Structure 1
Amino acid sequence: MLQACLNGSRTAREHPALPLTPERLAEDAADVAALGVTSVHLHPRDVIGAETLAGPEIATTIATVRAAVPGIEISVSTDVPGNRVPLIASWGPLAAGRPDIASVHVRDPAWRELAQALHRVNVQVDLVLEAPADLGDLPDGVARITVAATTATAEPLLRVAEPLGLPVLLHGRDAEAWPVLTRAARLEHHVRAGLEDTLLKPDGTRARNNAELVACARRNQRAKAPR
């Protein structure tokens, strides 16, 4: 799987093409879907541009993106401020406005409660691992492990993630984004690319937009995959 991480917690000051509104996210999702992406990960915003998990904003964002790319997995992040468990509970009746999967960071003291809240509203859990941890018995609904790594930390983190028997998405950020993507492709793990992870192409020049980063990732993934 190649996932596009469209915006993350970045701001418009960091890149002029960063998609923040539902309409812009839908446009970028359509562009990357045309390149073979089967999952998009995004951070919905409220009317003042702050990250949010509130039901109305989630519903508008997800429904708008889903209309542009029907059939593609839509993922959101739970790594935002606020009382998140009741906000997630409000997603239950959202239907087309409910995400397919949401990321939960193991470093978050409330990660188990968040995972359980997601499971109760029929949203799968993408568990994000950034440091070695004893995960114990995983909560219901965990469907994937995302390993957020550097070239130095990838191996010890994969030693935790791989034995769990779930799909693994391995990615890095900023200077580590492309080296870690190359490693993930060689290991045949899922990969991701987009403005959340890096603003630069592999040659160090500034990317125009998410689609250009995804195109680079697709070429890298095909070149490095075992034959």
Structure 2
Amino acid sequence: MGRVLQACLNGAREPGGHPGVPITPQQLAAEAAACAELGVTSFHLHPRDVVGLEVLAGPEVATAVSVVRAAVPGAGIGVTTGAWIVPDPVRRAELVRGWAGLAAGRPDFASVNVHEDGWLGVAAAAREAGVGVELGVFHAEAARVLLDAGVPEGTVRVLAEVRPGETVREAERLLELLAPLGVPVLLHGEDDSAWPVLDLAVARGLDTRIGLEDTLTTRDGLVAVDNAQLVRLAGAGAGKSAGS
């Protein structure tokens, strides 16, 4: 496996869209614990409110993170700052900045998508809150924006994401564009690109990720049971144990 295999547990998947997608803090914790037994030490999750909607507000973020952290002590736990959750970039940055006081519920890192309005402000807010930044780069245009702006302080890695319908060639192009930054890259795909891109990341020795956020199916196209099954398949595909 690549240097790190991150488990992306739920993402923006709609509640009920797949029976295994964890929504509540307790469900997230159970899924994280199952993946941790397979060696995973890095998790990405999308906290939800009581009706299952994604949120950036401190109380819900703190609850989700602290419950998961209790289940997987010592693991790195990250969350999203997606603009679709709070479209106003000023308010989004305010909410992220407020994570500073969350104590055990403060995430270790948060993804900030470079193509979204206000991304630099959100990245700065995360840094001020003591939260590391994963820079989401979804396409060549975003890569060029990042190259022009420079890597913000507090960045721990770049998330190079290959979107559905795109190929390994697009992944290679993205890696080539990002290479001058000299920042660790976690390469992953989504839906039909998830498995081919994961295999490319493994071959390149890059960090990667898998989970129900990125794909609902196994390598054979069957509906996955849960996150742990996907992690197990990712490790088997690389010929090594997951998380190594």
TM range (shorter): over 0.9
Aligned counterpart for 2:230 among listed residues 213, 217, 220: 213
Normalised by the length of structure 1, the TM-score is 0.95
Aligned with residue 134 of structure 1, among 142, 145, 148: 145
1:28 aligns with 2:39: no
- What code does the residue aligned with 2:153 have? D
SS at match of 1:134: helix
**In structure 2, how many angstroms separate the alpha carbons of the residues matched to 1:172 and 1:138?**
22
Aligned residue type for 1:90: G
* 2:57 maps to 1:49: no
Q: Does 1:4 align with 2:4?
A: no
The two structures, once aligned, show a CA RMSD in angstroms of 1.1
Secondary structure of 1:9's partner? Answer: coil
**How far 1:163 moved relative to its partner?**
2.2
Tell me if the contact between 2:151 and 2:181 (Cα under 8 Å) persists in the aligned partners: no
Give the partner amino acid of 1:69. V
- Which 4+ residue blocks in structure 1 deviate beyond 3 angstroms? none
Superposition pairs for residues 87-102 of structure 1, below 5 Å? Answer: 87-102=95-110
Query: Could you tell me which of 115, 121, 130 is aligned with 1:122?
Result: 130
Match of 2:85 among 60, 81, 84: 81
Write the distance in 2 (CA, Å) between the matches of 1:212 and 1:122: 33
- 1-structure distance, mates of 2:44, 2:6: 7
The one-letter code sitting in structure 1 at the alignment partner of 2:97 is A
- Provide the C-alpha distance between the structure 2 equivalents of 1:134 and 1:13, rounded to a whole number of angstroms: 36
| Distance across 2 between alignment mates of 1:94 and 1:61 | 11
TM-score after normalising by structure 2:
0.89
Distance 2:113 2:15 in 1: 24
Size of the alignment, in residue pairs? Answer: 223
Supply the distance in 2 between the matched residues of 1:191 and 1:221 (Cα, whole angstroms).
12
Q: Which piece of structure 1 moves more, 10-19 or 35-44?
A: 10-19
Larger RCO, structures 1/2 (Cα 8 Å, 6+ apart):
2
Match of 2:175 among 155, 158, 182: 158
User: Tell me, what secondary structure is at the counterpart of 1:128?
Assistant: strand
Deviation by residue 1:132-165 (Cα, 9 ceiling, x = unmatched) = 2232322111110010013231112111222212
Structure 1 stretches of 5 or more lacking a match? none
Which of the numbers 132, 135, 146 marks the counterpart of 2:159?
Answer: 146
